[in-house]
Chains A and B, each alone.
Chain A
Amino acid sequence: GQQVMQIPQYQHVQEGEDFTTYCNSSTTLSNIQWYKQRPGGHPVFLIQLVKSGEVKKQKRLTFQFGEAKKNSSLHITATQTTDVGTYFCAVDSGSARQLTFGSGTQLTVLP
């Protein structure tokens, strides 16, 4: 199935700083999804990207899908303490039967 590498594994930022996490694949992806998991909670679906070069925004969050559809990023502008959590990317297995999740980036926001 599809494999995806996510970096960094951990990121500590001061409140108000920006944050970016990246997912990279060696193969072309059909789409990519992003999830957020708060500490002690469960993953929550944020967004899906499908088109080459696609950019989508949700308030302070910007999601990008690479032109070659092999990488994606999630950027948070001016982080807040409510952004704390682990952000996962997830990609289709290839048969569209299930998702493979990246290892996640754990974001800590220091007040």
Chain B
Amino acid sequence: DGGITQSPKYLFRKEGQNVTLSCEQNLNHDAMYWYRQDPGQGLRLIYYSQIVNDFQKGDIAEGYSVSREKKESFPLTVTSAQKNPTAFYLCASRKGHLTSNYGYTFGSGTRLTVV
């Protein structure tokens, strides 16, 4: 079955460390997204990519970096510059780009905790 796989499910990071969250999809979707969700809050956009080798900053990109070298993969790196990284990170994809005719498919998320 097609879907989005995020790993790991839980991640613990020491202060000052960079960590990378994996997101892989086999839906053949063009667009991919990273959102951050804090407890009891909505989803805030970190980065998005409409096509391979291209990505744009979202509303809260500071302290994060991404790459899109393959259509299937959109890893997110949480750098030491992100002052409050503890959150639930959700990766999503959508069929097509530059179109809003489709819903997002979300991965099951990664819970990142700074220790």
Contact = CB atoms under 8 A, between A and B. Distances in A.
A103 B99 CA distance: 23
A101 B107 contact: no
A97 interface: yes
Interface residues of B, number: 27
Contacts of B104: 33, 35, 43, 45, 90, 99
B86 to A, nearest CB: 16
B87 interface: no
A104 interface: yes
Interface residues of A, number: 26
A106 interface: yes
B33 interface: yes
A43 B45 contact: no
Which 5 interchain pairs have the tightest Cβ spacing? A45-B103, A92-B100, A42-B106, A103-B42, A101-B43
Given A35-B103, A43-B106, A99-B100, 19 more contacts: A31-B100, A31-B101, A35-B104, A41-B108, A42-B90, A42-B106, A43-B92, A45-B103, A45-B105, A47-B103, A95-B98, A96-B98, A97-B50, A98-B45, A101-B42, A101-B43, A102-B42, A104-B41, A104-B42
